[in-house]
A and B are shown apart, each in its own frame.
Chain A
């Protein structure tokens, strides 16, 4: 293969491998934000989800149970965030950072015994059987969670567009006054949206420890949960666009290492920052001064 193909295949593989946690956590964040709340705590939820999924898989031998437990614990932590932010006068950005700290701390605290053992992992689905090149075959060995994430994105988009519940969430997120006038239980809906969103983030964490890089240790999550907030803006609060955003982020993340393999070694720090720079560039290029972002829920605290 020539150099450019190598990089492209590596980026494709990277996109498929690295994007899934971004996809889940940004879907979760999207759901929460559409109900009018922001949750930076999803970073801590991911770390805790990664730990608990790995621990569960090790203790029970069932990685799928690990995913479920991670989702459940994510909902619990997210529920705490939802509950506290539902109280009058509590700032959701700050509380998110506190939750991030608490979740990460608890994960590290209880995760110590699980750094050493090897837990059963989720198997990949080999989609590249048709391809001749082993590189392509490998790039196309995709985790079932990726497809679950894709299905989740389309399901969420359909929910927002076509269901009663989706409409109600949108109203709650768009205008609290309107929601109250319609008799919607604003706080309860936000609480549920936050808990459910963090449940998705927990699955994203489970992917990190059970699929890729498939190992539990303390450096596992490197800010994916925080970046979800940027990804959601990037996706304009549209779940389907979360897929594109997550894939782009994954591909950009694979750029640094694969460029080195074809001999471009200068300035790898700068290449590693590519996903962030691209996000910023797109944000700047697409936002119109003097107007709020298209698609942004009106009640979102960061939008004011």
Chain B
């Protein structure tokens, strides 16, 4: 973020980049927005710029990876064919991709929402695990109740646990001045300890012999698949959360205040915005989404809480959030991209006899390229706002 004060940065979205100027440029019906300039097409050009840069980067990453493959005497054409077939080429593959993307939508929000206030939270992993654990713990006493009630209780408990954990990092930052990046990272490690301790101790189902797990919620209470698909409702929850978060950030007074804070903390304080409350609130909300991801994993996939909840969704969420420049709507395609690479990974191992790490290398190439492409934003004058012609 060292370049946030560089020319052109004002028009950029991102931590520290979501400035009032961008709002004033007419992206929405915002309170306090100045009269919009007459450049009606600027928002569209800006969106085009935001879309074109990562696509170009994606192509560059694939090109670089093709060279990597050629050096290893593997066929890039076969590789691309397999990626397509494994990730998007058939209804089965597409579902595979979407299923993998589902938890990532929520864990990415855990990073993206606080980032709009300039907070970098990297502790989603523990929030997912604790959310899943809390969901099971809350469900156990009410297992006899109607399914809808149990699900609501689980969702509330899961979200609350995640919110508490990330909210703690936010509180430490807002009230105690502890850096939230480091606090959330350390909390991620700290949080997994009681998780493991409880799963293998107090909450353990004695019948879960060789894979220590909590008591299960039972097949009857598992979230059903969406009709006609294998997709679980977590995908819908993730999509809804992304859309709602976008509305919150871009279309409400609170969201505006948050972006002002993210753009310039000092200015926000001078204007009397409730900076501390906003920070804690954003962390609570983001953590709540990560906790919800844990609850959905339990209710739709595992049926119980165990070490399977620690699957790296929290870490992947960080990358997706940054790739989408913390825009909740952009999280959707980025999560699908990552899900697709994961879905194709198995096929690559099986058909091309390449190690599992191939996918990590490809992801590394893609992420480095897309993040580096951020530097292209705001460079070409065609994409910039123009003065109204009189």
Report A-B touching, CB under 8 Å: yes
Residues of A within 8 A of B (CB): 36-37, 44, 80, 84-85, 87-95, 97-99, 101-109, 112, 176, 223, 226-227, 229-230, 233, 267, 269-270, 272-273, 276-277, 279-280, 283-284, 287-293, 299, 301-304
Answer yes or no: B190 CB below 8 A from chain A CBs.
yes
Answer yes or no: B185 CB below 8 A from chain A CBs.
yes
Q: Is the CB of A88 within 8 A of B375?
A: yes
CA–CA, A273 and B177, complex, Å: 23
Answer yes or no: B95 CB below 8 A from chain A CBs.
no
Given the interface pairs A88-B6, A92-B2, the reply to whether A80 lies near B368 with Cβ below 8 Å is yes
| Segment from B27-35, B139-147, B357-365 that makes contact with A | B357-365
Q: Which chain A positions have C-beta within 8 A of B179?
A: 233, 283, 293, 302-303
Q: Is the CB of B172 within 8 A of A284?
A: yes
Answer yes or no: B89 CB below 8 A from chain A CBs.
no
CA–CA, A80 and B64, complex, Å: 15
Q: Which chain A positions have C-beta within 8 A of B12?
A: 89
Q: Is the CB of B178 within 8 A of A284?
A: yes
Answer yes or no: B76 CB below 8 A from chain A CBs.
no
Q: Can you show 7 pairs from A to B with CB atoms below 8 A apart?
A: A80-B368, A98-B368, A99-B368, A105-B363, A112-B357, A227-B186, A276-B193
Q: Which chain A positions have C-beta within 8 A of B205?
A: none
B361 to chain A, nearest CB (A): 4
Answer yes or no: B277 CB below 8 A from chain A CBs.
no
Give 3 nearest A-B pairs by CB, closest first.
A102-B364, A105-B360, A94-B322
Residues of B within 8 A of A (CB): 1-3, 6, 9, 12, 14-17, 118, 120, 122, 172, 175-179, 181-183, 185-187, 189-190, 192-194, 196-197, 200-201, 265, 315, 318-319, 322-323, 355-365, 367-368, 371-372, 374-375, 377-378
Q: Is the CB of A109 within 8 A of B176?
A: no
Given the interface pairs A89-B374, A104-B360, the reply to whether A304 lies near B16 with Cβ below 8 Å is yes
Closest A-chain residue to B9, C-beta based? A89
Given the interface pairs A92-B2, A99-B368, A233-B182, the reply to whether A109 lies near B9 with Cβ below 8 Å is no
Given the interface pairs A104-B360, A105-B357, the reply to whether A89 lies near B186 with Cβ below 8 Å is no
Given the interface pairs A101-B360, A108-B355, A109-B358, the reply to whether A37 lies near B183 with Cβ below 8 Å is no
Query: Which of these, B9, B175, B357, contacts A289 with CB under 8 Å?
Result: B175
Given the interface pairs A36-B2, A89-B3, A302-B181, the reply to whether A101 lies near B375 with Cβ below 8 Å is no
Given the interface pairs A106-B361, A276-B189, A287-B178, the reply to whether A89 lies near B367 with Cβ below 8 Å is no
A244 to chain B, nearest CB (A): 17
Q: Is the CB of A289 within 8 A of B177?
A: yes
Q: Is the CB of A287 within 8 A of B364?
A: no
CA–CA, A288 and B175, complex, Å: 10
CA–CA, A84 and B201, complex, Å: 46
Q: Which chain A positions have C-beta within 8 A of B181?
A: 93, 229, 302
Closest B-chain residue to A267, C-beta based? B197
Given the interface pairs A88-B6, A89-B6, the reply to whether A270 lies near B378 with Cβ below 8 Å is no
Closest A-chain residue to B372, C-beta based? A84
Closest A-chain residue to B365, C-beta based? A102
Q: Is the CB of A287 within 8 A of B367?
A: no
CA–CA, A88 and B371, complex, Å: 11
Q: Is the CB of A280 within 8 A of B186?
A: yes
Which of A85, A107, A290 counts the most B-chain CB atoms under 10 A from its CB?
A: A85
Given the interface pairs A109-B357, A279-B186, the reply to whether A37 lies near B193 with Cβ below 8 Å is no
Query: Which of these, B185, B193, B364, contacts A105 with CB under 8 Å?
Result: B364
B307 to chain A, nearest CB (A): 11
Which of B118, B172, B362, B364 counts the most A-chain CB atoms under 10 A from its CB?
A: B364
